[in-house]
Amino acid sequence: MADCLFCKIAAGQIPAAIVHQDERLVAFKDVNPQAPMHVLIIPRRHISTLNDLADSDDALAGEMIRRAASLAREQGYEGRGYRTVFNCNADAGQTVFHVHLHVLGGRKLTWPPG
Ligand code: AMP
Ligand code: ZN
């Protein structure tokens, strides 16, 4: 999608601190980190929100989740823990409308979230 920030990051048109990329996914550091590890995992293909995932995206969603676990493991957070979050639409505070999985680790995270 022409005007989408995360599509531009996936295409290399806007710089980002990329920590993983493959045919379907890109993972990069959040520019405003909320924890020592704060990575966003996006599909290369534009999908606006979690509501827009189709049955045919099940494998893609699984890859995003498994990549989150893999990146957290690489940082040594497998045992102590970390959090994964999909914000969807206004009440959850979604600000970028290209679906992304937040991966936060390295500090004690409170529950419930604000
Ligand atoms: P959300 O509120 O769930 O839509 O999250 C959007 C996230 O994107 C926020 O945590 C922002 O800090 C992050 N963000 C916005 N612009 C950039 C950027 N250019 N590079 C990396 N992260 C970004
Ligand atoms: Zn996009």
pLDDT tens sequence across 46-92: 999 999 999 999 999 999 999 999 999 999 999 999 999 999 999 99
37 burial class (0-12, 13-18, 19+ CB within 10 angstroms)? buried
Does the pTM surpass 0.95? The reply is yes
Give residue-wise pLDDT tens across range 19-50: 999 999 999 999 999 999 999 999 999 999 99
Find the 58 Cα to ligand 1 centroid distance in Å: 24
Length of the chain: 114
Verify whether ligand 1 is closer than 6 Å to residue 35 (CB atom). no
Verify whether ligand 1 is closer than 6 Å to residue 32 (CB atom). yes
Find the 81 Cα to ligand 1 centroid distance in Å: 22
Tokens representing residue 24 in the block: 């379907």
Helix (H, G, I), strand (E, B) or coil at 32: coil
pLDDT at 8: 98
Give residue-wise pLDDT tens across range 91-108: 999 999 999 999 999 999
Within 1-114, where are the H helices? 5-10, 58-74, 89-92
